[in-house]
Structure 1
Amino acid sequence: MQALDIRRFTVILAILSGMNTVLADDLELAKNITVPAGWKGEQIPLPPSFAKEMQFKGIEEARFSPGMFQEKSNTFFSYFFVFKIDPGSELTQKNIERELLMYYQGLSRTIFNSRKKEFDTSPFTCKLTKVIPSDSQNIYPQGLTEYSAKVKWTEPFVTQKSQILNLIIQAWTDKTTGHGYLFVCVSPQDFKANIWQTMRDIRGKFHHNLRK
């Protein structure tokens, strides 16, 4: 199947989100994200229109690897996103599992529906496992919790086949503003693959920028 062009995907995201402007107050999150050449991205509101049942409210910044929609690429469907969540949401393991599951269910269902195909997303799963974060640079915010996770779903954009996504999730709450944050790295690649080091480097720069 022909790979989906990144420009077409960003158009899809804009349609799904119902958002075509970026609020000035939301620019701060994007300014803290630095990516290598070739990475593209988008901002959408939370909850997105493709998963209105989500309880987290705020914004999402997503950045996609150059091979995101190239099935033969070793960075196929490799990307990361950052949720900035309005104060008041508890970032418990249970809540994060619920929100991410609804996110992927809604995304897959909406894309299949846009192709006039009904699709049952009830078999999808999202399972988090708490891990000890490695913070050699001492840059992580106080109270940060890290998880590894697996999402079993059907990739709707390119292959339309079952896929297992590996995730590394960092969750914390800003003690000053009360905003919650999720930094989520995603790839079907094994955790030893090079793409994970690339995303860890990007994440490290993000934490550095937040501290400035």
Structure 2
Amino acid sequence: MQSFEIRRFAVLLAILVGTNTVLAADMELAQHITVPAGWKGEQISLPPSFAKEMQFKGIEEARFSPGMFQEKSDTFFSYFFVFKINPGSELTQKNIERELLTYYQGLSSAIFNSRKKKIDTSEFTCKLTKVMPVDPQKIYPQGLTEYAATVNWTEPFVTQKPQTLNLIIQAWTGKTTKDGYLFVCVSPQDLKANIWQSMQTIRDKFYRNLQQ
């Protein structure tokens, strides 16, 4: 059953990505991301084909935990993504909330529609709370802002049931390029679960790679 779900996700992902294309020059972002064996990933353009109403434009790099689409796994729907956003977009709390809500509404709708099912996304929510970044290693980009967030939505891939996702969001603007960045860790697990330490380790490595 698990292998069936993974194969089905691959088909659905192809539907979602559609004709999105990414320039070879944008592969630089992917080269900064290092993940353990078993993690899978994709790169797509922003806005994605499933959420064309998004105002952020750029690219997304996403990496999925080995248990991402296995309901009984302790890393079910645990993953992270990095948005690299073209200069000109303000990374305010209000704008990030709007863009992520649109993203998750579009994702759920696209998957349900592909299965000839209807979903009401009007009750989905995305709420951010600003928190103080903890950076003992002094590796975070200059001007980084951190948020804790929750997304309440209907998970469309496996359970097709309401789900609350916890998010840790870090946002900053590149000093020279003026590109905007969001590094977002996502999981329905409690923030004390092991998966959060795993994603933090990956994120720390990403920041060290950026400095090289």
TM-score, normalised relative to structure 2: 0.96
Distance 1:87 1:13 in 2: 28
Please show how residues 104-143 of structure 1 align to structure 2 within 5 Å. 104-143=104-143
Listed as ranges, the matches of 1:100-179 within 5 Å are 100-179=100-179
Matched, 1:68 2:68: yes
Report the CA distance between 1:8 and its aligned residue. 3.7
SS in structure 1 of the partner of residue 149 of structure 2: strand
Alignment length (residue pairs): 211
Secondary structure class of the residue paired with 1:30? helix
Aligned residue identity for 1:177:
T
Q: Indicate the residue corresponding to 1:208 in structure 2.
A: 208
Report the 3-state secondary structure (helix = DSSP H, G, I; strand = E; otherwise coil) of the residue aligned with 2:91.
coil
- Of stretches 6-15 and 200-209 in structure 1, the one that deviates more from structure 2 is 6-15
Could you tell me how far 1:21 is from its partner in structure 2? 5.4
Instruction: Give distance in 2, aligned partners of 1:21 and 1:10.
Output: 17
Q: Which amino acid aligns with 2:14?
A: A
**What's the CA shift for 1:44?**
0.6
Q: Is the 8 A contact 1:77 1:188 kept in 2?
A: yes
Q: Give 5+ residue unaligned stretches, structure 1.
A: none
Partner of 2:42, secondary structure, is strand
1:36 aligned partner: 36
Letter in 2 for 1:210: L
Contact 1:14 1:20 in 2 (8 A): no
Q: Name structure 2 gaps, 5 residues minimum.
A: none
Superposition RMSD in Å: 1.3
Deviations 1:96-126 (A, max 9, x none): 0000000000000110011111111000000
1:175 offset after TM fit, Å? 1.5
CA distance in 1, matches of 2:156, 2:21: 26
TM-score w.r.t. length of structure 1: 0.96
Fraction of identical pairs, as percent = 80
